[in-house]
Amino acid sequence: MHELAQRILTGDPRAVARACRLIDERSPDAEALLRALFQKTGRARVIGVTGAPGSGKSTLTDGLVARARARGERVGVLAIDPSSPFTGGALLGDRIRMQRHAADDEVFIRSFGTRGAHGGLARSTTACVQVLDVWGARTIFIETVGVGQVEVDVLDVAETVVVVVVPGMGDDVQANKAGILEIADVFALNKADHAGAERAERELAAALALGRAPVKLAGGHHHSAAPAATPEDTPRIVRTVATREEGLDALLAAIDEHGIWLRTTEPGAERRIARRRASASRQLSELVTARVLDELTPRLAELAARVGEAEIDPHTASEQMLAELREKRRS
């Protein structure tokens, strides 16, 4: 395993692929590897890109990857694909993503399906971020659909979150505005050549001016330790047309600017600490519950069948499992 850590440190992309597979499979080797790598992490910048289905976030991420590469950076991309509820596989494979970077050894791309990743997706993503970090990725993009609890949780590990919006979104998406406002560090108003871009930007700016500070004061997850909004940390809105690669330099500049804010200001530092803690907290919860569930798996199936037949109520069954867990630990 130390050999694999060594290979990652020397920049071997196949070693990264192997490490991510071990992480996915929850191999004990992965744990040993991550322990070995942990002290060498912390150099990469993690950028989250999220938006509704159809907002063009994949194309946008693709363009950002090209620009980061043009600056000579080594780049990692972790794409979260909401997967088939029953097959467990990712729907958009690595192969059809970002084909233009496929031959580039300095770009590592990986897709994660979300099915079956109960409380495990954020953990796997965080672990792969650490591997890519040690591999030498300067920038790591996490692309995820902005709908769904599990899919949004992975953004915990990002220092800057880009929310992709498009003009004329449907009612449901509009209704989601409060959530979008809270999570965004930078907005990409994509498909800015479509009708209604002007109006969408105006509405977004107005919502930001009105909504951000009070929502923050309400106290939330990531921002709970952060101060109230100041003009400096109000998210910038950048117009893009990802399919024509328009606005991407400006978008990257806005991302960089946010990174500088995080590193050079007091509220920025507080934000970083709060996010790091939130991410660590989730990672710890996931590790602990995964371990407990692993121990319980065989008994779970048995008791679930009995609950399904209404022979026993779920609360009694869960207490029985906890009692057995306790006994096991004692022995």
Residue 131 as a binder of a second copy (CB under 8 A): the answer is: no
> 209 or 304: whose CB is closer to a second copy?
304
Residue 321 as a binder of a second copy (CB under 8 A): the answer is: yes
**Comparing C-alpha atoms, which of 123, 92, 121, 122 is closest to residue 109?**
92
Selected binder of a second copy within 178, 210, 260, 269 (CB under 8 A): 178
- Sign of the Cα torsion 121, 122, 127, 131 reads positive
Kind and range of the H or E run holding 139: strand 139-145
Shortest distance, CB of residue 185 to a second copy, whole angstroms?
13
**297 — phi, psi (to 5°)?**
-45, -50
Binding mask 54-83 for a second copy (x = CB under 8 A): x---------------------------xx
| Residues 220 to 249 in contact with a second copy, rule: CB under 8 A | 220-223
Shortest distance, CB of residue 137 to a second copy, whole angstroms?
18
**Comparing C-alpha atoms, which of 55, 68, 79 is closest to residue 251?**
68
Stretch that binds a second copy, among 19-27, 48-56, 229-237, 240-248 (CB under 8 A): 48-56
Q: Are 240 and 192 in contact (CB under 8 A)?
A: yes
Shortest distance, CB of residue 156 to a second copy, whole angstroms?
10
Count of residues touching a second copy (by CB under 8 A)? 90
| Residues 258 to 277 in contact with a second copy, rule: CB under 8 A | 273, 276-277
| Ramachandran bin of 98, using left for φ above 0, alpha for ψ from -120 to 50, beta for the remaining angles | left
Selected binder of a second copy within 84, 99, 230, 243 (CB under 8 A): 84
Residue 85 as a binder of a second copy (CB under 8 A): the answer is: yes
Stretch that binds a second copy, among 99-107, 231-239, 260-268, 310-318 (CB under 8 A): 310-318
Neighbours of 236 (CB within 10 A): 17
Shortest distance, CB of residue 276 to a second copy, whole angstroms?
4
| Residues 136 to 175 in contact with a second copy, rule: CB under 8 A | 145, 147-153, 169-173, 175
* ∠ Cα 225 229 234 (to 5°): 125
**201 — phi, psi (to 5°)?**
-65, -40
**204 — phi, psi (to 5°)?**
-65, -45
